Amino acid sequence: DIQMTQSPSSLSASVGDRVTITCRASQSISRYLNWYQHKPGKAPKLLIYAASDLQSGVPSRFSGGGSGTDFTLTISSLQPDDFAVYYCQHSYRTPPWTFGQGTKVDIK
Amino acid sequence: EVQLVESGGGLVQPGGSLRLSCATSEFTFSNYEMTWVRQAPGKGLEWVSYISGGGDSMYYADSVKGRFTISRDNAKNSLFLQMNSLRAEDTGVYFCARAYTVTWGFDYWGQGTLVTVSS
């Protein structure tokens, strides 16, 4: 099974900060990497698919990059609505389509 | 607006069974692959099970294989998860989600239903 490792596990940032979260796969997954935002009591939200494609309706301050084993999610200017937990997930070939352990973004 | 609404969660004793449902609307259900994802208390997201649009292909996480069965009724736009031989470690919120194709991620999710396995 492919393991997904995110870093950091948590971070504190201020409104307007640039934030970058990394995700590493245990083997190459090409660009089969998705990013989700999850707030307590809410449905998770797809932000980025295929490593860098912005899901419809997602603000352009979110961007994704990488290929192979190393990927990033960047928020160019953190907004109050962005405080949440972020997960990467691979969608390469066959399941299990594992998630990373999550990165909690909270207010500094 | 696309909607996915889970139901069927609750408190069950270890070894017991539950059947979760996911009612969907405002999209052509049979065109979409469907999945269940869960979140244990204080933990992250864990992929649980997948079913193809036609219902002819299913996959399971090792942690639930042989105990859980995913199914769908395309005429009723509904997804199901039959959970047997439940364990304490199955406790959590269960989400249903859709994907046009899994490779593009799960683009709509329900709000989840809570399953508690405890004596």
Q: Quick: pLDDT tens for A6-36.
A: 999 999 999 999 999 999 999 999 999 999 9
Closest CA to A66 of A103, A102, A97, A35: A35
Q: Are A102 and A87 in contact (CB under 8 A)?
A: yes
- List, for residues B54-73, the tens digit of each pLDDT value: 999 999 999 999 999 999 99
Of B44, B50, B62, the CB nearest to A102: B44
Whole-number pLDDT of residue A13: 96
Closest CA to A87 of A30, A40, A23: A23
Residue linked to tokens 């269960």: B94
* Residue segments in chain A with a per-residue pLDDT below the cut of 50: none
* Size of chain A in residues: 108
B97 has which bridge partners?
Answer: B35, B109
Of A45, A87, A97, the CB nearest to B44: A87
Contact list, B103 vs chain A (CB under 8 Å): 32, 50, 91
* Residue segments in chain B with a per-residue pLDDT below the cut of 50: none
Whole-number pLDDT of residue A12: 96
Residues 6+ apart with CB under 8 A from B66: none
Whole-number pLDDT of residue A94: 87
Contact list, A38 vs chain B (CB under 8 Å): 45
